Homo-oligomer: A and B are copies of this chain.
Amino acid sequence: MAAPVSGLDADTSAPVIILVRPQLAQNIGKVARAMANFGLSELRLVAPRDGWPNPPAYPAASGADWILNDAKVYPTTAEAVADLNAVYATTARPREMIKTVETPRHAGQSMRDHGLAGRRVGVLFGAEAAGLTNDELVKAETIITVPCSPDFTSLNIAQAVLLVAYEWFQAADHTPGKQLASGDARLATQDEVEGFLLHLEEELTLSGFLRPPEKAPHMKRNIRSIFQRLELLDQDVRTLRGIIKSLVLFGRSAGKMKH
């Protein structure tokens, strides 16, 4: 077992994950892995069935050992949430209880907002089969329910933690939804694209492709629409101009050979 890493540098604005009566050590390990993926570090265990620490949790954590090393055990859910300002609980089953219900996406943002306001946040996850009791659900101000296929609603505990942690992380992530990963290359300028298109049109006029002349404008528009749909990089423009040159030269040399 690795030496415990101190939790002192942990992000206290991040939600605490609280597993209530967890059963399989492997699932506890997978929860730790999912937490590490999305920057969470504080894990609390309420009355774990097989005690704690529990060595089989480690291989399932795939290296997120520091979370398992720092996990704290509580005898009751009440004690596990005593120091928290805001408590969420995950459940798929609506009970006869009046509760605010949030999607994981909304909860990701509302947990961030609590953290920014300096409040400590925790999320309760029930045991594998039994879930949370009504008495435990009452301790939470907010229920998180994952919208999913009505035909197949069973999410395991590690999947539920993964989705909540994912949404918490995404709420503060600024990765562009869509971007062109182009290494050192940059998007071509309009001038460079236009230079290529004029080069192509010139060679296609010479080669006789743009005939009859009255159809040439329409054909040119079609050709332009192919290349202008692309986000051409500077290096793409150089490559395309090289291709034109090469095809023209090959055609000329082939022509010479024929004669």
Interface residue A170 (Cβ < 8 Å from any Cβ of B): yes
Contact residues in B for A177 (Cβ distance below 8 Å):
102-103, 105-106
A258 contacts the other chain (CB 8 A): no
B101 touches A180 (CB 8 A): yes
Residues of B with C-beta under 8 A to A105: 170, 177
A25 within 8 A of B: no
Q: How far is the CB of A182 from chain B (nearest CB, A)?
A: 5
Q: Given B62, B149, B179, which contacts A101 in the complex, CB threshold below 8 Å? A: B179
8 Å CB contacts to B: which residues of A80-114?
Answer: 94, 96-103, 105-106, 110
Query: Which stretch (A115-123, A153-161, A240-248) binds chain B?
Result: A153-161
Question: In the assembled complex, which residues on chain B have CB atoms less than 8 Å from the CB atom of A99?
Answer: 180-181
Complex partner residue of A179 from B39, B100, B182, CB under 8 angstroms = B100
A47 within 8 A of B: no
Query: A1 contacts which chain B residues (CB < 8 A)?
Result: none
Nearest CB on B from A101, distance (A): 5
Set of chain B residues within 8 Å of A97, measured between Cβ atoms: 181
User: A147 and B169 in contact (CB under 8 A), knowing A180-B101, A181-B101?
Assistant: yes
Confirm or deny: A71 has a beta carbon within 8 angstroms of a beta carbon on chain B: no
Is residue A237 contacting chain B, with contact meaning CB distance below 8 A?
Answer: no
In angstroms, how far is the closest chain B Cβ from the Cβ of A172?
10
Can you list 20 A-B contacts with CB-CB less than 8 angstroms, sorted by A residue number?
Answer: A33-B152, A33-B154, A36-B149, A37-B159, A38-B148, A62-B154, A63-B154, A97-B181, A98-B181, A98-B183, A99-B180, A100-B181, A102-B177, A103-B176, A105-B177, A148-B166, A159-B159, A162-B162, A163-B163, A163-B166
